Chains A and B, each alone.
Chain A
């Protein structure tokens, strides 16, 4: 890789960034770089829990055809020794193993976990997970911090790292998340009494870790584009907080309300973002939406297609096998599709996120030599 020459145009200072010797000083690049997705990694708990097994833990039994209504057959659930931290570090190591670069050369590490559970009972505040992950992977000199933006967390992290790369501040960065989030499902199963319970959506959740390495694209190469917007009038539609009666957390969701708000806001955000970045919907080969449930994804895509005026060529689902893995869903899905050949070199991918907030985001990029382990399918 060539050294990146960066100039502080105001101060007139020149400095050469050599891969493996990055630093976190802001410098002003003369030309904006673009960002490429270089490697993707995941970490999944071994244990699988079927929807029937989850429903069998309910304290209050009532007819609940949850699998038929959501399409979710199973999800992964953390076992002993697995938690948000181990999933995040595992996913980071998986991505780095395929990246080929020196972790010590990463310019920044951004952790995006909603759940920062150490074991079952402790939620870590300080130091943050960005710090813990960077130390675990040997990226000691990387700028680090934690982002919390609900299920839009990783795409928000990508949005931020892209800005640092475009400005020439760093040459590469890692966005990572580990979600031990099924405590919400377990707590919901113990307490829901009817199909109208606000905790019903918690039953969709699954545990997973995901990581993506971003780096400066070769000069002239098409790069990543990203836009994330928050429509805060909908801030109350989904609230997650510690469960007052049990370890872990609970989440109260106005499911129909947040779905309605998401499908109303998404097409406008998608179109605006694509227009700003010279994309048309016809340029997109694969759409990876946030994985909530099969009917919700289908309804959202159908509404978006009507508003956008074209059909998505390929919409990727994996919610049947993994449930809603919150901030990690997009990169868990991308990893699987790269491994099984559904997404290939040269394809153009758009990720869509709808998250509590309400946050709507779009991230688009070409598949250009993304490194994953093709020998190990999710």
Chain B
């Protein structure tokens, strides 16, 4: 049995909305659960892939606050089965897809019935952060047992450590306060594109796939026009590319969730037999998943 995508929830806050990391992730998760008609107590795993949390809370896992907001198996003695495991999993901009790889595995083995990967990156040190460009956004992806062949068929991750210094972020003490510092080299976006191209070509080759066999490519590159260029370089039809909607600025880990929500809303989603999800982040690390689509049910 494969693990399949059940629903995606997203949140782009308007003025006056809750822009806390937990609030964004929980709101997106609530939408995903409602769309998937899944009870929070049936979610066996909640993985939070956000890198930048409210107040930079280090413990407990920020996923715990999302679990509490959802009301999933909160109390000792009244949990369903083994209850819910909530933890944070980070892998930079690739974190959401890495989280999906983990959750999909537990669904495949039957250890959990449903799993959620959530995210909600915010500015943890507003007013003093430097270089933090992403806009606050929430996304949540609900995964459960697939039907027929539908579901995740393969994941692959590649790293390019020679470019590790092109994107670095840390929380630094400057003698008066803590502040987030993000260093993004001017060549970062171009290097990201080159690494994504290399990883995508290698993935297609490894899976024995021709570019024409890819019905949809879902990704969230650092710069929107990089998506079409990636398709061109890898020989994919740019018409099959799905990017996140314009959010008024770069999206961090939520970007792939936003793109996935857009893809699942397209008529092409129902017809797709093979979908590739591609995410990348600092390292440079590129993660790719092959998803057998609804048409394979």
A77 to B75, CA, bound (A): 37
Name the contact of A240 in the complex, choosing from B59, B90, B106 (C-beta under 8 A): B59
CB–CB A128/B58 < 8 A:
no
The answer, yes or no, to whether B186 is at the interface (CB within 8 Å) is no
B interface SS class = mixed
A146 to B109, CA, bound (A): 22
Chain A positions 143-186 with a Cβ under 8 Å from a chain B Cβ: 143-152, 156, 159-160, 163-164, 166-167, 169
Knowing A150-B61, A163-B105, A163-B109 are in contact, say whether A125-B52 is a contact too (CB < 8 A).
Answer: yes
> Which among B30-38, B160-168, B231-239 touches the partner chain?
B160-168
Knowing A230-B64, A264-B76, A357-B60 are in contact, say whether A26-B83 is a contact too (CB < 8 A).
Answer: no
Name the contact of A355 in the complex, choosing from B60, B98, B168 (C-beta under 8 A): B60
CB–CB A125/B153 < 8 A:
no
The answer, yes or no, to whether B197 is at the interface (CB within 8 Å) is no
CB–CB A126/B92 < 8 A:
yes
Q: Which chain A residues border B111 with CB–CB below 8 Å?
A: 163
The answer, yes or no, to whether B77 is at the interface (CB within 8 Å) is yes
CB–CB B74/A232 < 8 A:
yes
CB–CB A25/B61 < 8 A:
no
A34 to B62, CA, bound (A): 31
Q: Which chain A residues border B77 with CB–CB below 8 Å?
A: 268
The answer, yes or no, to whether B89 is at the interface (CB within 8 Å) is yes
A interface SS class = mixed
Q: Which residue of B lies closest to A239 (CB)?
A: B57
The answer, yes or no, to whether B269 is at the interface (CB within 8 Å) is no
C-beta contact mask, A246-289 vs B, less than 8 Å → 1, else 0? Answer: 11110100000000010011001000110010000000000000
Name B's A-contacting residues (CB within 8 A).
Answer: 2, 46, 51-52, 55-65, 67-68, 72-77, 79, 82-92, 95, 98, 101-102, 104-106, 108-109, 111, 149, 152-157, 159, 161, 164, 167-173, 177-178, 180, 206, 281-283, 285
Q: Which 5 A-B pairs have the closest CB atoms?
A: A356-B60, A126-B282, A149-B87, A150-B59, A232-B68
A sample of 10 cross-chain residue pairs with beta-carbon separation below 8 angstroms, ordered by A number, consists of A118-B170, A126-B169, A127-B167, A140-B161, A145-B90, A146-B89, A160-B102, A231-B73, A232-B68, A359-B86
